C-alpha cells in the first residue's frame, strides 16, 4: 500500500521545549541517519528506473517535506516503518516542483539536478532553509550551464533546460556541498565524463555517491576534491542505508560536555567525527572510541579554545552554534570564527538572555566563559541555533523555555525523548497541551 504522506502538523509555531537545567547527562543515545545525506538521497532515488528502499532515514520534518514534494510530483512513497521509506519514481511525470513546499527547505534545490537529469528540464522555486545570510546557487547554475543547459530566473523560479547533458570539466569557485550534489545528480545520466574540481568532501557527498553507484552509476573520487562521474543510461532500484548523522552526534557530545556529563553516543562512524572530537579534546573533554560508538565524559574543568569553521574535513559550520554555547560555560576567553556563512551568529542575542558573555564582530565571536548560565525564555532562530539553546538550557540553572522549535524539529529526530533518556529534565509542550494545563485539564 502506498501511503499519502501527510505533513506532521503537530508542531505549531507556539509549541515549546522547556528545560530544567543543571542535570549532568548520563547514559546512551543512538544517532539517527544523516539529515544532509537523506535530503540528497531521497530526491536522487527519483533518477532510478525502479523502486528504492532507503533505510536509516531520520524521522524529521525536512524528510517529511521532501517526501511530500516527491509525492506531489507523482512519485509513490511508502513509509515501511518510522525510518524506512520506499520510493517508486516510475510514474513521475512532472518537471516542476510545488512552490509552497519548496520555500521551506534548502535541499529542495536538489530537484533541479534530478529533474534536469530525468526530464532534461526543471522548473523549481528558489529554495528556502535556514537564514544565515545570502545563500546563492550560482555555482549550481554554473555547473548546469557547463553541462549544456540554459537557465533563467523568473518570478522567484529557476528554469533549467537542455537538449541533452554532456559531460565536461567544472571547477567550482567555492567549495559548495549543494553545488557538488546538484552537479553529481545532473551528470549521473549525462553523455560522457564530468569532472568536478574543488568539490565538497563531506561524508554526505560520499554517501550520495555510494547510493548512486549502488544504483549503477559510475562515480569515483567522492570524498576527495576531484569527483569523476561517467554518465550511464540506466539506474536500478536498490536498498540502501543512510550513514549516521555526524552533526547530531556532535550535538550530543557538546551537550554532554556542557553538562560535564558522561554518555555513550551509539551508531556513529568515529572517523566522521574527528574534527569535532579533536576540538573537544583540546578543551579537555575525554573520549573512548569503539567501532561504532564513542564514550564522551569530563573528569576535570574544561579549557577555553579557538574554533574556525571550514568545509570538511575542517570543523563543521553546522556545529558552530553548539560549540559556542559550550564555550560560554568554559572559563576564559575563546574565539569562534565562522568562515563558511556570512551571518550565522543571530542566536547569540538569545544566549545573552541566558547570561552568556559573547561579543560578535562580523564573522568572529569572542566568548568570555561564565560560571553558570541562567535559564530564560529564548527563541530558536534556526536549526543549529535551536540545538545550541537546548545545550545552554541543559547547562544553565533554572528553567529555559525554547520557542520556535519547528526549526529544531526540521533536523533532530526525537530530541526531547533522547535527552530524557540521558537524564535531562526536558519536555515538549504543544500549544494545545499548554492550554489544557492552564485550564486544569
Ligand atoms: N555558495 C556560493 N554559491 C553557491 C553555493 C554556495 O557562493 O552556488 C557559498 C555559500 O554562500 C556559503 C558556502 O558557499 O558561503 C557554502 O555553501 P554550501 O553550498 O556548501 O551550503 P549548502 O549546500 O547550501 C549545506 C548544508 C548546510 C551546511 C552547508 C555547509 C544541506 C541541505 N545543507 O548547505 O547545513 O551549513 O552545506 O556545510 O546539506 C544544517 O544542516 O544546519 C545546514 C545549514
pLDDT tens readout for residues 90-144 = 999 888 877 677 777 778 899 999 999 999 999 988 776 566 566 789 999 999 9
Which atom in ligand 1 lies closest to the alpha carbon of residue 316? 38
Q: Which of 52, 109, 130, 305 is catalytic?
A: 130
Cell of 38: 537523506
Where residue 223 falls (left for φ over 0; alpha for ψ -120 to 50; beta otherwise) is left
Pocket lining: 246 vs ligand 1, CB cutoff 6 Å: no
Give the chain's residues under pLDDT 50: 1-11, 434-441
Pocket test for ligand 1, best of 174, 208, 321 (most atoms within 8 A of CB): 174
* Among 72, 74, 54, 53, residue whose Cα is nearest residue 6: 72
The Å distance, Cα 340 to ligand 1 centre, comes to 8
pLDDT of residue 133: 61
> What local confidence, expressed as pLDDT, does residue 14 receive?
80
Give the three cell numbers for residue 8.
Answer: 506532521
Contact 402, 381 (CB under 8 A): no
Nearest atom of ligand 1 to the alpha carbon of 202: 38
- All three cell numbers of 214, joined, read 549502488
DSSP helix/strand/coil, 71: helix
pLDDT for position 106: 76
Nearest Cα residue to 194 out of 113, 76, 286, 85: 113
Query: Is any atom of ligand 1 closer than 6 Å to the C-beta of 309?
Result: no
Sign for the CA dihedral angle at 372, 376, 380, 383 comes to positive
Per this entry, what is the length of the chain? Answer: 441
Instruction: List phi, psi (to 5°) of 283.
Output: -80, -10
Q: Give the relative orientation of helices 35-44 and 246-258 as an angle to the nearest 10 degrees.
A: 170
Is the dihedral angle over the CA atoms 256, 261, 267, 268 positive or is it negative?
A: positive
Query: What residue owns the CA closest to ligand 1's atom 16?
Result: 176
Catalytic annotation present for 52:
no
Return the bridge partners of 165, or none.
Answer: none
Closest to 395 in 3D by CA, of 256, 300, 251: 256
CA of 178 to the centre of ligand 1 (A): 6
Phi and psi dihedrals of 125, rounded to 5?
Answer: -70, 150
Q: What is the pTM of this model?
A: 0.94
Query: Could you tell me if the CB of 340 is within 6 A of ligand 1?
Result: yes
Q: Which whole-number Å values give the CA distances from 123 to 111, 116, 166, 189, 428, in the listed order?
A: 9, 9, 20, 19, 38
**What is the distance, to the nearest Å, from the Cα of residue 277 to the centroid of all Cα atoms in its chain?**
19
Amino acid at each position: 500500500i502506498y501511503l499519502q504522506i501527510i505533513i506532521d502538523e503537530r508542531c505549531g509555531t507556539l509549541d515549546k521545549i522547556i528545560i530544567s537545567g543543571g542535570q549532568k547527562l548520563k547514559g546512551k543515545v543512538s544517532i539517527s541517519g544523516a539529515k544532509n545525506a537523506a535530503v540528497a538521497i531521497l530526491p536522487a532515488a527519483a533518477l532510478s528506473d525502479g523502486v528504492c528502499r532507503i533505510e536509516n532515514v531520520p524521522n524529521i520534518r525536512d524528510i517529511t517535506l521532501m517526501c511530500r514534494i516527491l509525492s506531489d510530483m507523482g512519485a509513490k512513497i511508502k513509509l515501511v516503518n518510522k525510518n524506512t521509506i520506499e520510493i517508486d519514481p516510475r510514474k513521475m511525470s512532472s518537471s516542476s516542483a510545488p512552490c509552497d513546499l519548496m520555500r521551506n527547505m534548502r535541499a529542495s534545490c536538489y530537484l533541479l539536478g534530478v529533474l534536469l537529469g530525468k526530464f532534461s528540464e526543471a522548473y523549481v522555486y528558489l529554495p528556502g532553509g535556514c537564514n544565515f545570510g545570502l545563500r546563492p546557487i550560482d555555482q549550481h547554475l554554473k555547473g548546469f550551464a557547463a553541462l549544456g543547459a540554459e537557465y533563467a530566473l523568473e518570478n522567484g523560479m529557476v528554469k533549467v533546460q537542455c537538449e541533452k547533458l554532456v559531460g565536461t570539466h567544472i571547477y567550482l569557485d567555492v567549495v559548495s556541498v549543494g553545488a557538488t550534489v546538484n552537479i553529481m545528480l545532473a551528470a549521473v545520466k549525462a553523455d560522457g565524463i564530468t569532472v568536478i574540481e574543488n568539490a565538497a568532501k563531506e561524508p554526505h557527498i560520499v554517501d550520495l555517491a555510494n547510493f548512486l553507484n549502488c544504483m549503477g552509476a559510475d562515480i569515483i573520487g567522492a570524498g576527495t576534491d576531484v569527483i569523476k562521474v561517467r554518465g550511464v543510461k540506466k539506474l536500478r532500484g536498490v536498498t540502501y542505508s543512510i550513514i549516521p548523522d555526524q552533526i547530531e552526534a556532535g550535538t550530543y557530545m557538546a551537550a554532554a560536555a556542557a553538562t560535564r556529563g558522561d554518555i555513550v553516543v551509539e551508531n556513529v562512524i568515529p572517523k566522521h567525527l574527528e574534527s569535532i572530537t579533536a576540538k573537544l579534546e583540546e578543551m579537555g573533554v575525554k573520549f573512548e572510541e569503539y567501532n561504532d560508538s564513542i564514550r564522551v565524559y569530563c573528569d576535570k574543568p574544561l579549557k577555553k579554545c579557538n574554533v574556525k569553521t571550514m568545509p570538511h574535513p575542517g570543523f563543521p559550520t553546522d556545529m558552530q552554534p553548539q560549540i559556542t554555547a559550550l564555550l560560554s560555560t568554559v572559563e576564559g576567553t575563546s574565539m569562534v570564527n565562522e568562515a563558511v556563512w556570512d551571518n550565522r551568529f543571530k542566536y547569540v542575542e538569545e544566549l545573552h538572555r541566558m547570561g552568556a558573555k559573547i561579543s560578535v564582530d562580523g564573522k568572529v565571536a569572542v566568548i568570555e566563559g561564565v560560571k553558570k548560565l541562567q535559564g530564560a525564555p529564548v527563541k530558536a532562530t534556526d536549526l543549529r541555533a535551536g540545538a545550541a539553546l537546548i545545550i545552554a538550557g541543559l547547562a544553565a540553572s533554572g528553567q529555559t523555555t525554547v520557542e520556535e522549535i519547528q526549526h529544531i524539529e526540521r533536523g533532530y529526530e526525537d530530541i526531547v525523548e533522547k535527552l530524557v533518556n540521558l537524564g535531562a529534565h526536558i519536555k515538549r509542550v504543544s500549544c494545545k497541551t499548554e492550554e489544557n494545563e492552564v485550564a486544569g485539564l
